[in-house]
Structures are given as C-alpha cells and as structure tokens.
Structure 1
Amino acid sequence: MIEADEDGAAGFKGRRRNWKKDEKRRIVAESLEEGASVAEVARRYGLNANLLFTWRRRFAAGDSGEPPAILPVTITSTPAMALSSAPDTIGRMEITLSTGERIMVGADVDASALARVVKALRR
C-alpha cells in the first residue's frame, strides 16, 4: 500500500511486494520506451528506481532471477582401452542440455566464453 505523508511524498507502507516475472518484464519494457524516465516509471509502480535498474540489468543479461534448472548428471566409467585408442578425446567434455543441444569442448576452453554460450542456449 502506498501512502503520502503530509508533505505529499509517497512512501511504501506495509508488506514487501512480490512481483511476478511478467509484471517485471512489462515494467522494464515500459522503462525502456523512447523518452521514458526510469524514475517516473518506478514511482508509478511504487518501486525504488534502483530496483528497476537492477531488473533492467538482469533482463538485459538474460537472468530472469529464477534459480537455474537442475539437470540430471550421469557418470560412467570409461574402459582404459577406449582412452588409449582415442587420444583426441582426452580432455574433452560433452554437455547435453535438457533441450537436446550438445556442446563438446576441449580442456582448454575459456570458462567465461562457455558460460555465455550455455546461457544463450538456455533462452
């Protein structure tokens, strides 16, 4: 509940609001419109402008604010003979996403680049 004090300044009074993802997206989109003021949009919805800036940053980075999905992992033992007969596979890993995409990378992969690829594929 938003109430104004005797000076007319609006302040939040009551419980913390739990915004749904769709509401956040709509508010962020409104703040990104041509000529929109982040402070005005935030005030209209009873938000702190810093919170709206945080939402904008997270949505721009592809972070929805939800915890990542837990995926099943299967560990298998590979016979020593298979390793010696295929030296080009040593130091490689294969990542299979829940949607079926497969990523195969070598041991020398740049971790931050791999993280960006996985995040892009999750969208």
Structure 2
Amino acid sequence: MDITVTEPKARPGSRKGRPNYDREFRRRLAAAACEPGASVAKLARDNGINANMLFTWRRRYRAQLQAETTSLIPVAVIHETPPQRLAMPPNGGDVGNPTPRDGTIEIRFGGVVVRVNGGVDADTLRVVLGSVRS
C-alpha cells in the first residue's frame, strides 16, 4: 500500500536541525500510519521523516482518539435489597463452639480481588466489600 502525505515546508525549530511540522500534517501522517497494511517505516521514508518520530505521532494520535471516544455510562440503582441476617439454629449448645468453615470465596471487581479463606463473619465481610465498592 503506497501512502504519501506531502507537506512542502517544515518550519524551522527552536534548535538547529529540528523542524516543527504542522499539526495537521502530523495528524494526517499518523492517521495514514494507522491504516491496515500501512508500513510506518516506508511512510516515514517517503515523507522524509524519521520512523521513530512517526511511531510517536501514531501513538499520540491513537491515545487522543481513545480519549475522545471513552465515556462513562450513567448507572442508576433501582432497588437495593438489604442484606439478610441468618438466624441461629435453635440448638443453643453449639453457640460457644461454632464449627469451622472450610472453603474459599473469591470476588473480583475490575483489578481488585477479594479472597476470603475459611470462616469470616458476615458483618466483617460486608464492611470489606462496602469499602471496595466505594
């Protein structure tokens, strides 16, 4: 695929040998570098610039596109049910010596992982999950 974006003049930069290319030229060239099948090295060579510079322009162009398209979606909680309390069994002899619970609970919220091993009382777990949620 042959893509050439021509810009006849580069403005002189603040330092010798470093031209300042027009923003529109950089944007067009970065967009051309994002096309499927485009060779960044060939595109840079055809336009007389360094390939690393074009890679930088392309990375910035993609980041700008992503920032423009990323948005938050409004969410509303319609009905939040209060947590249910578990009633203790009528057998009062086991209250002092609860049976150990085995197992693992793993909850993932995006990049956060909450892992609970063994037995944890419901109130403590509720506080931990509430702090992760906020």
Q: Which interval holds the TM-score relative to the shorter structure?
A: 0.3 to 0.5
TM-score, normalization: structure 1? Answer: 0.37
More strand by share: 1
Report which of the two structures shows the higher radius of gyration computed on alpha carbons.
2
